[in-house]
Structure 1
């Protein structure tokens, strides 16, 4: 979820200390939207600069900010396209993946490219492999960064596929090249190998492991001890598995650390690379999945920390420098309210993300100077609505975690309620600052965000419980959240609506169609109304899996039966449909067709198409319009 904040101009490094003032009722919408938007920020290796993804005057911009007070902020001109990720390459370059709609061999498709940018704005160029490496021509997908040099040189490893539509291993399976991004000079290092979909390098840049899954789940793993010239050895070729553990950190003596779910929950284990067998557990979070491993960029075998999420996003630090820094952060913002988002190589400078408490936003922590300063002014000095985690039982006994955001100035009793399922669905919500939840709580609503079955983070069985249950048991979990809140006396069951975006927008449509007796209204942003349509057109952006057709067929036995667009006559409650015309994840036709079907059926609806909006509200004015329209719709159909 994005953090909305006003940048200080020029950047002023203020002392730590957060002063709260009493909250005002009914804040203007501009308190939530008319501000620059930081999606993420990454610090440079030397800690003197950061790159941030933000919105400036209605446009999404990458911006370089000085953190040492030297120089001015520099918005980078990227042209059209979406930025997918950014990596620092030394202190003077960044490499990023950008994507846009385009054509390849006369087919309309989504094209991605790697782009190198010099951070002073003087150079920018696309990274393109020479013709000898791509005999069929450079295809639509521009490659994946697998390693970045830590010695200051502008070198990276790029995994790329010459032709994903070729039937030969040389064409459709990836190879690896070392790229000098300053010169766009490519040097071939690892050939394609049948069955290997991903390559993994150690911290020195040596490609050590190849892994992959084919249709039907057949898995392959190869490994070599000498990453420069040794031979790859077949260590695992098995049938269908749900998760193939691959090394995240290479240790000494042919050992590595992996994240594996073989005991039900993702945890970190040692692995013997000669056999690819997991050994001792290094860290696990009882009842929750581990999400990643943080490595030390200057120590080839160094483990900084392990990330996981319980009710909040957390890190178990193994580096004492980071434990000390986290203690200071917890003392400043409250335990669990803030985390280290990015760090310099020497661990003396950190970017902190505060996602809960009185002052959400981004901060700069200079360890040597012993100061924490806002990179961005918090959205308000006033306290936000409180959020807390709860657990309830679904009708079949499955335990569900949810997050409640409560109006600050109302008694938590018989409140009008909004059930707000997250998108994905293979993601999850957390106990933290959420723009929609805060806005609607400010308007007097209890907001409930259930992590329904199929959400990630709660172990293998919980995630698999959602397979085949789109619009069925996953929808039951949302209805059961409402029943729980009513039974606890928190919510007035006669004043309930459902609101959501993406999968949550689909769920809102489904609620209006399947259970109009429970909800007075529904609000869908960018919802998928036709799952059969998604199966035939999705390219992986919506669900992020290799075999899209297989994924969609798993979601339910009958896609038509749980697609709201097929049953407009069953809609028994008013619905607001909002969709961006530039949405590349869920095409705008889903809401257009839903609105037309409701019109023909004579059902109450409002349809708003935003000309320049995408799937992510990258422009403030689109979010501003959505919140105003949602507020107006709720005032009419479910007033607080």
Structure 2
């Protein structure tokens, strides 16, 4: 079999956007990868070099965000007819954050400052539009902050919207200069009170508000690109509204408990060309499937449209204007399921030519479009974007999301299942280092945050691959409470913080020992947010199993999530705190004893193993006092505590420099306690 890059070159050489605009920096990464030295840390944790590649409505043009050393992230457009890329928007003091096609001629985009963390951002937003050739640039909304930065020229007779105006990020009509944008409104505590919807002329700046039925959290456009659904959650209930074709009348089509759910609950997915509403629903089954919803009778289709056995349906519709072609799904990996026979034939042709990767296909909106976008990846290969001509069978290489990653030096990742102590099956991902021994390895139990979401997504992951490149086996469990595996698995995690959820993680480590993958004397537990909480509780509950822990921006006291602090309010919404947390995490009054027993800060004296902790000073999800209070408590009994605060970071590391520093610290910490240095 030819290597993938050779196969693509033989089909059609193409001109990668990144290579054309970035210059020689790409060659440096490849040279580094050829060395026997460890893959550099920046190859894993730098910002992607190319992302969000998207075809125009006709399919002739492709836009993407392109990064390169020495400049800010720019918006580039590739003409697939002549294969020439063009930078159409770029700034000296801001980065392109995201974009969407308004029409085949015009694009809408937001900017942000990716070189500064949340604490230092002054110019953090701004809405613009530009033609695909870089002309007719217009600023449509102010940048946030005291120093308003405008595009050159006068603002006389110009309409500039407020800073809190953002793209909807849904495919609109794409047949004029108009697009829909959202305008979140905030209360005095900074919480979103409602989200407005405006139709915006991207050339003149004129707007037309969409009438809403009351406070709204989210909007959904129909197949024609018009607002059709609105949703709102309040007082523990979710309401779904439908907008009649007259454009003025709204009616309630469903209402159900937000967190507890009900037999009639569903989540809107999208609309077919005939107005059919596709929804995600349990419909009396353990796993959710794709159904249709009768807007007249208010009933689900008796039979599902798509069932993903053993998994909740996760994905969306793949549509062209006037037709639903298929769906995107995720089971153990992402894929397309095609209703359309021609698209199924396209998928087979693409997979035949790109056999080493998972290849998902997206299509432009116009029916006559010939080009499609192929997103290819595997466990050892970051995403590569290619345009595919369905008529000629030719590929154009658009670019790679990351360079300097040699698949041969990446660890293979396998979906596995193991049994917890009560017999529950726990899905997990196991990543082993490339080459060398596959047995008796130091193991990192990597715990996802949330916790009530799906943590595992098969494919190239910078964290697990970085750890594997340093010689560690990595096990990532989707412990009970994780979404995506049915209601029974999800509900089994309710009120199980530090209890059965924690046991599932420990049982995964013991499974890895029993299978021979892990050295029982060299196991560390690590994670961020809830994963950081689980890392701390691992040291409390299983001190003989874990030799160390890494906690980044993790919860240290469950009661602090409820009560907050006088100087810094968490950004957790009141509806979740009042109605969600008592049900899923624990009631402060009824479950007071449990919350105390399962809060790491109450058990700090029991933690004697080495611990690395990191927090962001402007984290509003798990504010800094979670870390400082726990640090002070644990250091009274444990001198093996390393602690770092990143002044401008929030709940997650937004700056590459932070990621480089943090993971360098993790590398040294693991090497000392369970790695090569520990074995000496």
TM-score over 0.5 for the alignment? yes
Query: What SS does the aligned partner of 1:268 have?
Result: strand
SS in 2 for 1:397: coil
Matched with 1:322 is 343
Match of 1:353 among 375, 378, 384: 375
| 8 Å CA contact retained: 1:392, 1:481 | yes
Deviation at 1:639, TM superposition (A): 1.6
Q: 1:198 to 1:607 in 2, by over 3 A?
A: closer
2 CA distance for matches of 1:150 and 1:471?
A: 48
Cα shift at 1:583:
4.3
Equivalent residue in structure 1 for 2:659, among 623, 627, 633: 623
Please tell me whether the aligned partners of residues 158 and 177 of structure 1 are also in contact (alpha carbons under 8 angstroms): yes
> What corresponds to 1:153 in structure 2?
176
2:605 is matched with 569
Pairing partner for 1:115 from 98, 120, 127: 127
- Residue of structure 1 in register with 2:405 after alignment: 380
In the TM superposition, residue 283 of structure 1 has moved relative to its aligned partner by 0.6
Q: Could you give the per-residue CA deviations for residues 293-328 of structure 1, whole angstroms, max 9, x where no partner exists?
A: 2242422xx213222221112221223443333323
Asked if structure 1 preserves the Cα contact closer than 8 Å seen for 2:444 and 2:475, the reply is yes
Q: Is the 8 A contact 1:390 1:401 kept in 2?
A: yes
Name the count of aligned residue pairs. Answer: 603
Give the match's secondary structure for 1:596. helix
* The 10-residue stretch of structure 1 (387-396 or 145-154) with the greater mean CA deviation from structure 2: 145-154
Partners of 2:571 and 2:353 in 1: how far apart? 38
User: Is residue 53–residue 60 contact of structure 1 (8 Å, CA) maintained in 2?
Assistant: no
Aligned residue number for residue 392 of structure 1: 418
The question of whether the paired residues in 2 share the 8 Å contact of 1:359 and 1:379 is answered with no
Gapped regions of structure 2 (runs ≥ 5): 1-15, 24-29, 114-120, 144-160
Deviation string 1:401-420 (CA, Å, 9 cap, x unpaired) is 11111122233222111111
The equivalent position to 2:73 in structure 1, one of 49, 54, 61, is: 61
The answer for the alignment partner of 1:424 in structure 2 is 450
Partner Cα distance (2:407, 2:417) in 1: 29
Distance 1:625 1:234 in 2: 51
Equivalence for 1:513: 540
Q: Equivalent residue of 1:631, what SS? A: helix
Residue aligning to 1:103: none
Give, in angstroms, the shift of residue 116 of structure 1: 3.1
Secondary structure of the residue aligned to 2:428 is strand
Q: After superposition, what is the alpha-carbon deviation per residue over 1:388-440, rounded to whole angstroms, capped at 9, x for unaligned?
A: 11100111211111111112223322211111112222232122211121122
Partner Cα distance (2:528, 2:187) in 1: 32
Task: State the 1:629 CA deviation.
Answer: 1.4
> Hey, what's the Cα distance between the residues in 1 that align with 2:123 and 2:188?
14
Of residues 552, 555, 559, the one that matches 2:581 is: 552
Q: Match of 1:390, SS?
A: strand
Equivalent position of 2:527 in the other structure = 500
Deviation at residue 235 of structure 1 after TM alignment: 4.2
Mapping of residues 398-437 of structure 1, within 5 Å: 398-425=424-451, 426-437=453-464
- Which digits, 9 at most, give the CA deviation of each residue in 1:10-33, with x for residues without a partner? 489xxxxx9xx9994733434434
Cα distance, 1:358 vs structure 2: 5.0
Cα distance between partner residues in 2 of 1:53 and 1:513: 44
Q: Which residue in 1 is equivalent to 2:293?
A: 271
**Structure 1 portions without partners, runs of 5+:** 13-17, 101-108, 129-137
Q: State which of 334, 337, 343 in structure 1 corresponds to 2:355.
A: 334
In structure 1, which of residues 423, 433, 447 is the aligned counterpart of residue 474 of structure 2? 447
1:634 aligns with 2:676: no
For residues 28-80 of structure 1, the C-alpha deviation after alignment (integer angstroms, 9 at most, x for no partner) is 43443467544543333344554445655488735324354435335633957
CA positional deviation for 1:630: 1.2
- Rounded to whole Å, the distance in 2 between the matches of 1:36 and 1:197 is 30
Q: Which whole-Å deviations, capped at 9, do the CAs of 1:265-284 have from their partners, x for residues lacking one?
A: 22111221112200131111
**Equivalent position to 1:214, from 223, 226, 234:** 234
Tell me the residue number matched to 2:315: 292
In structure 2, C-alpha distance between the alignment counterparts of 1:78 and 1:91, rounded to whole Å:
27
In 1, the alpha carbon distance for the partners of 2:477 and 2:528 equals 14
Measure the CA separation in 2 of the matches of 1:591 and 1:378: 35
Q: 1 CA distance for matches of 2:571 and 2:345?
A: 39
Q: How far apart are the structure 2 equivalents of 1:82 and 1:579?
A: 27
**Residue 73 (str. 1) matches residue 87 (str. 2):** yes
Match of 2:332 among 308, 311, 314: 311
Alignment of 1:178-257 (within 5 A): 178-193=199-214, 197-217=217-237, 219-223=238-242, 225-228=244-247, 231-237=249-255, 242=261, 244-245=265-266, 247-251=268-272, 255-257=276-278
Q: 1:371 aligns with which of 395, 400, 404?
A: 395
Shift in Å at residue 576 of structure 1?
Answer: 0.9
Give runs of aligned pairs for residues 85-96 of structure 1, distance below 5 A.
86-96=99-109
C-alpha offsets along residues 140-195 of structure 1, whole Å, 9 cap, x if unaligned?
Answer: 964672865334312223455667679xxxx966554422233222223424337x
CA contact (8 A) 1:36 1:56 kept: no
Query: Secondary structure in 1 aligned to 2:439?
Result: coil
CA deviation vs aligned residue, 1:231-275 (integer Å, no higher than 9, x gap): 444544556762742543434776422121222222111221112
Secondary structure of the structure 1 residue equivalent to 2:537:
helix
Greater shift, 32-41 or 629-638, is seen at 32-41
TM-score (norm 2): 0.77
CA contact (8 A) 1:221 1:236 kept: yes
Partner of 2:636: helix, strand, or coil? helix
Tell me the SS of whatever aligns to 2:447.
coil
Distance between the aligned counterparts of 1:322 and 1:11, measured in 2? Answer: 34
Equivalents in 2 of 1:448, 1:631: separation in Å? 17
Secondary structure, aligned partner of 1:433? coil
How far residue 458 of structure 1 moved from its aligned partner, in angstroms, is 0.8
Give, in whole Å, the separation in 2 of the partners of 1:593 and 1:159. 39
